[in-house]
Amino acid sequence: MSSAPPHFTVIPDDSYFSLEHSGQSGRSRLVVLAPDDPYYHLVRDKFIEGWRHADRPRPPVRAVLKILSTNESLNVYKKYRAKVAAEINDRKAKNQGNQKLLFHGTNRYCRVAENPDKVRICELSECSLCSIIRHSFNIEKSGNKHSFRRFGKGIYTTTCSSKADDYSFTGAKKFNWRVMLACRVVVGRPLIRRQDDTELTAPPPGYHSAMFQVIGKPGENLNYHETVVYDDDAIRPAFVVVYGEKQQEESSCVVC
């Protein structure tokens, strides 16, 4: 009988997935996780816990894939994380820099991640998902789809998978499943707000992110948690979650 996978309370540091160490290269930037992989459980459990819209049935998780990032990209993130850890004086803490695993929904115009053999990202300029997997986030490009930004110009993530689902859009002609990203985020010391502040472009001195706390009650005009960072170095995509009910019949893909 196999033992249960460990239940992570923080994201272990060995979860920095290096492209160079993977043996994969080029556009092959994803690895499908087996259902007994501890990271599969970490991400799936957070997705399930985070589905909080009572009016929408929680969709099944179909797969979890880990994202391979270049050492250069990961090192920039680690450096930023260490800097924030020093600022909030928690360099010896288990979870330096108050790092969280948070969801982000975005546009996808290909069928990457839909099947175990679709691990190659596309080169379509409009496919934000593949662009983020390849280069990570770019504040200048984020939020173009939705004009309203509660906390100004930044990169938006959430613990609430059902909220990230609102921003998950597939423009491919035929597709089967929905996808969203689970990202490492250096939250640091968050500026906690219960009201909008759409002019924000950076957190005030001493803070590293802005966090919107849940207000209201389910069934009322409920707003859900959001965490916003204002520095590209504060976030890296770590996993792709594939979920939902089948949308279309299987077809040959022209893109990926």
* Interface pattern 128-157 for Zn ion (x via CB under 5 A): --x---------------------------
Q: Residue 212 pairs with which residues in a beta bridge? A: 193, 226
- Is residue 19 near Zn ion by the rule CB under 5 A? no
Distance CA 129, CA 132 (A): 5
Residue 65: name the closest of 144, 121, 14 by CA: 121
CB of 111 to Zn ion, least distance (A): 8
Distance CA 230, CA 15 (A): 23
- Is residue 191 near Zn ion by the rule CB under 5 A? no
- Is residue 210 near Zn ion by the rule CB under 5 A? no
- Is residue 127 near Zn ion by the rule CB under 5 A? yes
Range in contact with Zn ion (rule: CB under 5 A) among 5-13, 70-78, 110-118, 166-174: 110-118
Residue 58: name the closest of 171, 161, 157 by CA: 161
- Is residue 110 near Zn ion by the rule CB under 5 A? yes
- Is residue 113 near Zn ion by the rule CB under 5 A? no
Distance CA 110, CA 87 (A): 41
CB 149 within 8 A of CB 201: no
11, 122, 180, 211: residue in contact with Zn ion (rule CB under 5 A): 122
Interface positions with Zn ion (CB under 5 A): 110, 112, 122, 127, 130
